[in-house]
Amino acid sequence: GNQLQQSEKMAAIGQLAAGVAHEINNPIGFVNSNLGTLQRYIADLFKVISSYEQAESELTPQTRSNLAEIKRQIDLNYLREDSESLLVESLEGMLRVKHIVQDLKDFAHVDETDKQWANLEKGMDSTLNVVWNELKYKTEVIKEYAGIVDIECIPSQINQVFMNLLMNAVQAIDKHGRITVRTGQEDQKVWIEVQDTGKGIKSEHLSRIFEPFFTTKPVGKGTGLGLSLSYGIVSKHNGRIEVSSEEGKGTTFRVWLPISQPAEG
């Protein structure tokens, strides 16, 4: 029962993420386009100001000194440079938000429960982007991709597995470490591996880590469902998860998946 509840919860999170992504897209669209227009408007305004400046010599001395005073007060030259860079920065910010929304959508794979052909390396990349904030301060991520073929799977579920393995890896690392992601292909199977330089798993725990609710984390730091859920997803895909670990050295999880799924029925 628990496996099911948990996967329903994941589906709900996926739908929520997709819904939020969709909602965010609208304002992003118009803010983005408004900023672009504003950029043009401001450039035009400064053009007008420049041509006025060229006519300044024809003004009365009094008007000229008034103008000089206003320019000094508002620091016109600074405004000229800064308004341009402010807009460029804002547009870059919008682009980043757009990418984040796209990653969320890829990650959630909008309420799809059907198998499709997907690339695990792409899936791992979009999952890495989603959890990047958790990783970036403590870890260096190294990718050793073999350029594997697409496989038949439910991508959102496989991404859940990747997310879980990445979060486990980062939580195993105390101060700073390395996470290496590798892929490979053998016969009719592909594999993807997440290796960390963290604290490792005690040998007496190794056989239990896929049990539901088994956790070595302090209370409140993990449900202990992640790995059992991942195990369930991988089994459902007719694959398997292998783990090897050495205390004080690190842990490697390897997920094996068949390239194509057996026909239903």
* Residue pLDDT, tens place only, 74-111: 999 999 999 999 999 999 999 888 877 876 776 665 44
CB atoms under 10 Å from CB of 258, counted, come to 16
Q: Are strands 139-144 and 177-186 parallel, antiparallel or unpaired?
A: parallel
Amino acid at 232: G
Q: How far apart are CA 213 and CA 127, in angstroms?
A: 24
Strands (DSSP E) found in 76-118: 116-118
Geometric angle at alpha carbon 170, from 164 and 175, rounded to 5°:
165
- Give me the pLDDT at residue 39, please: 94
- Give me the pLDDT at residue 179, please: 96
Assign residue 109 a region: left if phi > 0, alpha if psi is -120 to 50, beta otherwise?
Answer: left
Q: What is the mean pLDDT of residues 173-197?
A: 95
Q: What is the mean pLDDT of residues 111-117?
A: 73
Share of the chain above pLDDT 90, in %: 54
HEC secondary structure over 225-242:
CHHHHHHHHHHHCCCEEE
* Residue pLDDT, tens place only, 143-170: 999 999 999 999 988 998 999 899 889 9
Q: What is the mean pLDDT of residues 26-50?
A: 94
Q: What is the mean pLDDT of residues 111-135?
A: 86
Q: How far apart are CA 165 and CA 143, in angstroms?
A: 15
pLDDT at residue 1 above 60? no
Which of 139-143, 229-233, 259-263 holds the top average pLDDT?
A: 139-143
Sorted by sequence, the CB contacts under 8 Å of residue 7 that are 6+ apart come out as 157, 229, 232, 233
CB atoms under 10 Å from CB of 182, counted, come to 16
pLDDT at residue 120 above 80? yes
Name beta bridge partners: 245. Answer: 251
Share the mean pLDDT of the chain.
Answer: 86
Asked if 147 contacts 121 with a C-beta cutoff of 8 angstroms, the reply is yes
- Give me the pLDDT at residue 111, please: 45
Q: Residue 261: helix, strand or coil by DSSP?
A: coil
pLDDT at residue 228 above 70? yes
Q: What is the mean pLDDT of residues 1-10?
A: 57
Buried b (16+ CB within 10 A) or exposed e, 48-67: eeeeeeeeeeeeeeeeeeee
pLDDT at residue 247 above 50? yes
Of 141 and 16, more confident: 141
Phi, psi values for residue 66, rounded to 5°:
-60, -45
